[in-house]
Structure 1
């Protein structure tokens, strides 16, 4: 939800359309892949979808950094959203480790 609100802010207030589009694509993809993972037909399928979500989280953090470095979002806003993305990334990585260990 924060990525959607950030996208709205960036497009409406900052008139920034390129980086913000990348941000919303990668950010929304995290949730979409987790929704797919919930309907996985195997552990391998589940792990693959969570892995994609994790990588999309890393990409989202990259776009946030770029938006901060180019002055489109303030440091405080960046720190807050980036911390949330970092926490999500840690959770996803933990799920991946647990899932892959249970396969062995």
Structure 2
């Protein structure tokens, strides 16, 4: 599988895992409010990466992957709140949080690489 296709599938699976997690949260006010926030940010990761794969320019790609990075980081925040507020046991979502951190690293590295390549191409064409 090509790296972009692989990451497309990975971010889609991430979104599906977020859906399952939010469906399992307690039906309390806090569980529902945090769950909605997590559902929004977590499912947007895959959608925004898919959009980045169709970027119209290097700058557009960088911008869209930056959104993926922000949404992934926000998802991690909501998961941290869920565990620290003892709404959900850390062990139950530890693997998902590890995947979230890995995706964050991938998006950060992609942004840096794209910026360096864009800068090199800009200088070469100037």
Answer yes or no: is 1:22 the counterpart of 2:37. yes
Gaps of 5+ in 1: none
Instruction: Look at both structures and tell me which one has the larger radius of gyration over its CA atoms.
Output: 2
Q: Does residue 100 of the first structure (1) align with residue 110 of the second (2)?
A: no
Q: What residue is the counterpart of 2:106 in the other structure? A: 91
Q: 1:40 aligns with which of 55, 58, 65?
A: 55
Query: Hey, which bits of structure 1, 4+ residues long, moved more than 3 A?
Result: none
TM-score by structure 1 length? 0.93
Q: Unpaired runs of 5+ in structure 2?
A: 1-15, 120-126
Deviation, structure 1 residue 51: 0.3
TM-score of the superposed pair, with normalisation by structure 2: 0.77
RMSD of aligned residue pairs (Cα, Å): 0.9
Alignment of 1:70-81 (within 5 A): 70-81=85-96
Question: 2:21 corresponds to which residue?
Answer: 6
Aligned length: 101
